[in-house]
Structure 1
Amino acid sequence: MNGGKDAFATEVGGLQTLAQSSDKITLVKARGSLVWDDKGREYIDCTAQAWSNNLGANDPRVVEAAIAQLRDMTHIRPNFESLPRRKLVAKLQEISPGNLNHVGFALHGSLAGEMAMKLAFKNRPGAQNLIVLQDGYHGRSLATLGASWPHPNNPFLPIQPRFTRVPHPYPYRSRLGMDPEVEVQLCLGLLEDTITKGVDGPVAAVMMEPIQGNGGHIEFPRSYYKGVREICDRLGVLLILDEVQTGFGRMGTMWAAEYYDVVPDIIVFGKGIGGGFPLAGVLADDRLTWFDEGEEALTFGNFPVSLAAGLATIEAIQMDNLCQKARAAGEYATERLLEMQKRRKLIGDVRCPGLMVSIELVTDREKKTPAQKESQEVYRRGVELGVLFGESRYAGLGNLIKVKPPLDIERPLLSRALDVLDEVLGAIEEDSK
């Protein structure tokens, strides 16, 4: 895809000499679902830039809102209220599930996750533990890195907080070939046993992603979400849903909490809210005690430019019916991938819902052997053909390919990306013969 390359090459020609020598692509421009590098090459972005551009990149409504705020005031310390903050809080309260009316802001999901942890411990005095799921991912700050799936050769263990990890259902790789619902009951039993007998002292919260993003794009059977909520209620433990990747339309609903009909005590949000600007935070049940002065304050935590962009982004998501568009695009992509699976032996499993779309690659369907090298090769060849696919984990540890573009991706672009994926998988399979 090189339409407009000559004109664009002129625009970016002066930037080429500034690009550092690196294996990484140097991106210089983005519009909607397309990005361009410093050599003028065009790519379909099926990563939405780390799943952050739910609304297509550089949407004029978001850019204009940010520019307008820049002209008025670029920074307001957290001791003061601001109009962008007041308006965005009202909008978030309008769209939040249940009674999640407390709102706090940060500039990235990791600190929002830490905010949620702090709030949980504040509201469960004497609690000493926080439980997370195996394969969960909550960020790369000091605390959230410790709450995420084990990182090999982690040099920060001596100063990291410790979290208790519990098993979760994995329908594609269920234990001993268990029926998925049997495995759900097993994992719920293990969760309850861990809370009551597996840790020293009370548990403040269970923190989990509705769909595990970096850990393998794992969706649980619907009964698991209900079961976790029931256990938390019965044992007096808070439930935190980390919706940094699933929020703001990605699932075909505004929140995964709506999709699974489970309202947590705290939602962690980020990525898709900012329209490309750094913005994250928490929504908390108004029954919870909020922070006292000095317990949660970040100098740039209420960055007014991001707040203005966030309000414009949510309004655009609503105005453009992006939840509905995500459902339709996800159904189309899933149908195409299921058909592809019949022909491409590398595809072990196809996952959705909405535009949370991915495939798990295996070298042997019977043994379900993870195809890690092949996944890296899919990414590499996709780049050569003008498509940026998402991957799972880092350093070649994952075996997933993700198709998670902006929610308003045009159908011809999505179709082209899937055509490329089909072509690449076919070529890799042919080379392995």
Structure 2
Amino acid sequence: MLQTSALRRPGLEPGKSDPVGTAERPEKLTLVKALGSYVWDDQGRRYIDCTSQAWSNNLGANDPRVIEAAIAQIRQITHARPNFNSVPLLALSAKLREIAPGALHQVGYCLHGSLATEMAMKLAFKNRPEAKNLIVLQDGYHGRSLATLAASWPHPDNPFLPIQPRFARAPRPDTYRPRKGLTPEQDAALCLDLIDDMIGKGLDGPVAAVMMEPIQGNGGHNEFPRSFYTGLRDLCDRHGILLIWDEIQSGFGRLGTMWASDYYGVVPDILTFGKGVGGGFPLAGILADERLTWFDEGEDALTFGHFPVSLAAALATVNAIQSDKLCDRAREHGDYATLRLREMQARRRLIGDVRCPGLMVAIELVTDRTTKEPARREAQEVYRRGLAKGVLFGESRYAGLGNLIKIKPPLDIAREDLAKALDVLDEVLGDIEGGRP
């Protein structure tokens, strides 16, 4: 079996940067196998995967239906330039139109979420040619390409700033830390008023769109009061501005509905998707309102954007999510996990907040529940100790975050595996709080 040491380059001191990049860092696991909710490393150790590999395996890893669909497509045609249609392209597009919210019946494809976000931004400006601005929310995250990194919450010591576009960042409500003296609902109303003022008199030129994640993933797993979702939709309509929802993390059953749009009862003008659609194969894209003007030839063409193997795998994935009723499974598992975590919160002082819905679950760890000081070191210990006990928890280390633990396994995880993962979490939190090694 392949050994991790065989992949490491000699002569690197701990903490020193590797000129070939991050791929060979010794602290990284080397994964060699995945099936369902499990992954195995090169030492033969098995882990319950509560990360779904970057929240992408909504359907468990290496599902036979997806693998067979990909293999069958490989035998037919593996590449078609975007000038042509292919059978999986037409079939998946029909399926996505069938399950799309509202009238989001125009479909565009690419191979990762950052480009899907860029596609959405391009379409917004094409349909609002007089506009000069695009608004994003504070703490939002939309990718790591040049454009989307600029659209995300500020990258620390950003070396790419001179060649990045500019975005207007609007305040967002915080249900755990609302502004001083305000309830979460009042905070949401204040933010809507501030965004209204920003559009009306705070920017130099018209606005093409407001872009947001319905639940902010990398920026803190932040959900908003429902009044904020409907209020922002109304505000965009009043100003003639497009609303873009980044559903790259929340789509395809993660919240217990096919889309966050279904869960919150708000239909955006453009919706981005990715991650969970491909069953482990790279695919992303957008759904756009049928009333919007689509791209002209050459405005959004990618050589491998219509990768037939990924399209075939995605069709099998979406069909499996429907046939296996994984939206229902996500809702049921999420209710169970949330109940367990709230019970845990009553006993574990490190748990400051429990966040859901569906199987988009996270806890925020704090050193003090009154001051809500982030417990970053303790969260890293939860990850490390969970790993030693056979559970991969999600975490947020980017840009100084680090006190969130995320529990986002495949939607079809067995209940006993989800229960075991939560048992491990409870155990390691108790050990950390008790000062046990």
TM exceeding 0.5: yes
Distance in 1 (CA, whole Å) between partners of 2:361 and 2:157 is 30
Distance in 2 (CA, whole Å) between partners of 1:156 and 1:385 is 40
Residues 32, 396 of structure 1: CA spacing in aligned structure 2 closer, same or farther, 3 A cutoff?
A: farther
Distance in 1 (CA, whole Å) between partners of 2:271 and 2:404 is 26
* 1:279 corresponds to: 283
Are the equivalent residues in 2 in contact too, given 1:213–1:392 (CA < 8 A)? no
Secondary structure of the residue aligned to 1:330 is helix
* 1:356 corresponds to: 360
For each residue in 1:100-158, what CA deviation from the matched residue of structure 2 results, as whole angstroms up to 9, or x when unmatched?
00000000000000000000000001100000000000000000000001111111011
Are the equivalent residues in 1 in contact too, given 2:143–2:149 (CA < 8 A)? yes
TM-aligned CA deviation for residue 411 of structure 1: 0.6
Amino acid at match of 1:167: P
Secondary structure of the residue aligned to 1:193 is helix
Are the equivalent residues in 1 in contact too, given 2:4–2:30 (CA < 8 A)? no
* 1:6 corresponds to: none
Deviation larger for 389-398 or 81-90: 389-398
| Aligned match for 2:351, one of 347, 351, 374 | 347
* 1:7 corresponds to: none
* 1:289 corresponds to: 293
Are the equivalent residues in 1 in contact too, given 2:256–2:327 (CA < 8 A)? yes
Are the equivalent residues in 2 in contact too, given 1:33–1:405 (CA < 8 A)? yes
Are the equivalent residues in 2 in contact too, given 1:124–1:204 (CA < 8 A)? yes
TM-aligned CA deviation for residue 375 of structure 1: 1.0
Secondary structure of the residue aligned to 2:180 is helix
Distance in 2 (CA, whole Å) between partners of 1:70 and 1:15 is 30
Structure 1 unpaired stretches of 5+: 1-12
* 2:38 corresponds to: 34
Q: Segments of 4+ in structure 1 off by > 3 A? A: 14-19
* 1:301 corresponds to: 305
* 1:214 corresponds to: 218
Are the equivalent residues in 2 in contact too, given 1:216–1:393 (CA < 8 A)? no
TM-aligned CA deviation for residue 301 of structure 1: 0.2
* 2:11 corresponds to: none
Distance in 2 (CA, whole Å) between partners of 1:46 and 1:170 is 25
* 1:253 corresponds to: 257
| Aligned match for 1:189, one of 175, 190, 193 | 193
Distance in 2 (CA, whole Å) between partners of 1:265 and 1:296 is 18
Identity %: 72
Residues 432, 363 of structure 1: CA spacing in aligned structure 2 closer, same or farther, 3 A cutoff?
A: farther
Residues 431, 326 of structure 1: CA spacing in aligned structure 2 closer, same or farther, 3 A cutoff?
A: same
Secondary structure of the residue aligned to 2:7 is coil
Amino acid at match of 2:207: V
Secondary structure of the residue aligned to 1:206 is strand
Q: Kindly indicate whether residue 156 of structure 2 is the aligned counterpart of residue 161 of structure 1.
A: no
Q: Kindly indicate whether residue 7 of structure 2 is the aligned counterpart of residue 19 of structure 1.
A: yes
Secondary structure of the residue aligned to 1:317 is helix
TM-aligned CA deviation for residue 15 of structure 1: 5.1
Amino acid at match of 2:303: T
Distance in 2 (CA, whole Å) between partners of 1:14 and 1:429 is 37
For each residue in 1:145-186, what CA deviation from the matched residue of structure 2 results, as whole angstroms up to 9, or x when unmatched?
000011111110111111000111111100004111111110
Amino acid at match of 2:113: G
CA RMSD of aligned residues (A): 1.2
Distance in 2 (CA, whole Å) between partners of 1:403 and 1:273 is 19
Distance in 2 (CA, whole Å) between partners of 1:236 and 1:365 is 42
Secondary structure of the residue aligned to 1:361 is strand
* TM-score, structure 1 as length reference: 0.96
| Aligned match for 1:392, one of 360, 377, 396 | 396
Distance in 1 (CA, whole Å) between partners of 2:416 and 2:399 is 32
| Aligned match for 2:379, one of 354, 375, 378 | 375
Residues 387, 309 of structure 1: CA spacing in aligned structure 2 closer, same or farther, 3 A cutoff?
A: same
| Aligned match for 1:62, one of 66, 76, 80 | 66
| Aligned match for 1:96, one of 79, 93, 100 | 100
TM-aligned CA deviation for residue 16 of structure 1: 5.1
Distance in 2 (CA, whole Å) between partners of 1:167 and 1:418 is 34
Distance in 2 (CA, whole Å) between partners of 1:265 and 1:48 is 28
Q: Kindly indicate whether residue 407 of structure 2 is the aligned counterpart of residue 419 of structure 1.
A: no
Distance in 2 (CA, whole Å) between partners of 1:90 and 1:394 is 37
TM-aligned CA deviation for residue 432 of structure 1: 8.4
